[in-house]
Amino acid sequence: MASTKKVGILGATGTVGQRFILLLAEHPIFSIHALGASARSAGKAYKDAVRWKQARPIPESVAQITVKPCDAELFKDCDVVFSGLDADVAGDIEMAMLKQNIAVFSNAKNYRRDPSVPLIVPTVNSDHFDLIAHQRKLNKLDKGFLITNANCSTTGLVVPLKALQDAFGPMSHIIVNTQQAISGAGYPGVPSLDILDNVVPHIGGEEEKMEFEACKILGDLAPDKQSLVHLPETIVSATCTRVPVLDGHLETVSVKFANGAPSVEQVYEVLEKYTSEAEKMGCHSAPQKPIVVTREADRPQPRLDRENLKGQAVTVGRVRKCPVLDIKFVLLVHNTVLGAAGSSVLNAEIAVFKGLI
Ligand SMILES: NC(=O)C1=CN([C@@H]2O[C@H](COP(=O)(O)OP(=O)(O)OC[C@H]3O[C@@H](n4cnc5c(N)ncnc54)[C@H](OP(=O)(O)O)[C@@H]3O)[C@@H](O)[C@H]2O)C=CC1
Ligand SMILES: N[C@@H](CC(=O)OP(=O)(O)O)C(=O)O
């Protein structure tokens, strides 16, 4: 087993930060060393700074840690920094951490479009870690690097799409409609008077993120390993809505394949057989398999399926012929586990396995 790595959590008091605490409190190779948040929280014991919203209690090992301001100097003895920072501040703080030669795993949107930053969903494109050598050269770093994970809805979408792309070749058109949980908006998030008894058919910037990020993630690393080639001929159209669910984003997806339609049974088989590098490496947080397939007529459902394989798998069901495109299906992703902190932690485990940390 690799030696223990010291980790810092930025935005440790937030919705994603609290997931990081739960995932890392008893981790076999990562040990929580420092917690960071805003001036509101800095100087307080974690238990007094956080508005804890998880069903499990705050781990005892973390409750008394004093929260620090997110000053890179204060995190320089960390091997790894996980960021659950608000996007308004994540850009500058994460860059300062990178310049301290730290391995930074970000959940924020700020660097996802940067051509030198891999956008990695751990059960989809862990091969994009090979861009790090180039990124380190650009930044004149030997140990540090910056990886982002995807928008939570994008994360759910690309897992089954990767399985289908590997099996049936390029997809020309993808139409996705999301029903996103309120925890996706952080805390305190969407006002109760807006979301109870209601559906809000707009989440600012979300559709553009899905349409861009899916093509970066499903694209290839160039042969010289110095850039990523986005999917050239795939059009993604997203409509994103907010629904009164606590955790778990449900998505309805229709796909057209460039080389002709597979059958429904072929699609089920491919989804059931899909595996990723993360399980083969034996990573601690890797799900037994990246996709849980359900053949029940009324599944997946957020309340019943979001904890499947500890929230690290995407549940896919209702595969049918699409009369407009080729195939349609429904998926469910846990937005704060695989859609956020869980992806970062698994990405970091992969990076350790690859000798990058
Ligand atoms: N929720 C989700 O499902 C997903 C979220 N993300 C992304 O993850 C990030 C975190 O989201 P989420 O946890 O929902 O957000 P929250 O609003 O719940 O938490 C934000 C965190 O940022 C900290 N923060 C705010 N301002 C500052 C500052 N000036 N300096 C230092 N820290 C600051 C807060 O600290 P304090 O408590 O002290 O104010 C808090 O810890 C965002 O970038 C979001 O877009 C990505 C995928 C999914
Ligand atoms: N916008 C997502 C959560 C999120 O913060 O996404 P991103 O990291 O892409 O900004 C949601 O509302 O469910």
Distances (CA, A) of 87 to 10, 84, 91, 166, 299: 12, 9, 7, 33, 33
Q: Which residues of 147-175 are buried (b: 16+ CB within 10 A; e: fewer)?
A: bbbbbbbbbbbbbbbbbbbebbeebebbb
DSSP 181: -
Co-location of 256 and 211 in the same domain: yes
Domain that holds residue 249: 153-334
First to last CA, the chain: 13
Residue 225 CA to ligand 1 centre (angstroms): 32
Q: ipTM value of the model?
A: 0.97
Co-location of 330 and 345 in the same domain: no
Co-location of 294 and 202 in the same domain: yes
Q: Name the residue type at position 8.
A: G
Co-location of 133 and 242 in the same domain: no
Q: How far apart are CA 239 and CA 223, in angstroms?
A: 34
- Indicate the number of domains in the chain: 2
Q: What SS3 state is found at 277?
A: helix
Co-location of 133 and 186 in the same domain: no
Q: Which CATH number is 32's domain given?
A: 3.40.50.720
Co-location of 130 and 247 in the same domain: no
Co-location of 77 and 213 in the same domain: no
Q: Which CATH number is 215's domain given?
A: 3.30.360.10
Co-location of 53 and 166 in the same domain: no
Give the residue among 184, 162, 178, 196 at the shortest CA–CA distance from 334: 184
Co-location of 21 and 168 in the same domain: no
Co-location of 141 and 164 in the same domain: no
Co-location of 269 and 348 in the same domain: no
Is the distance from the beta carbon of residue 102 to the nearest atom of ligand 1 less than 6 Å? no
Atom 36 of ligand 1: nearest residue by CA position: 38
- Cβ 69 vs Cβ 93: under 8 Å: no
User: pLDDT by residue for the chain (357 residues), tens digit each?
Assistant: 557 999 999 999 999 999 999 999 999 999 999 999 999 999 999 999 999 999 999 999 999 999 999 999 999 999 999 999 999 999 999 999 999 999 999 999 999 999 999 999 999 999 999 999 999 999 999 999 999 999 999 999 999 999 999 999 999 999 999 999 999 999 999 999 999 999 999 999 999 999 999 999 999 999 999 999 999 889 999 999 999 999 999 999 999 999 999 999 999 999 999 999 999 999 999 999 999 999 999 999 999 999 999 999 999 999 999 999 999 999 999 999 999 999 999 999 999 999 999
Co-location of 275 and 321 in the same domain: yes
Which listed residue (33, 128, 249, 334) is catalytic? 249
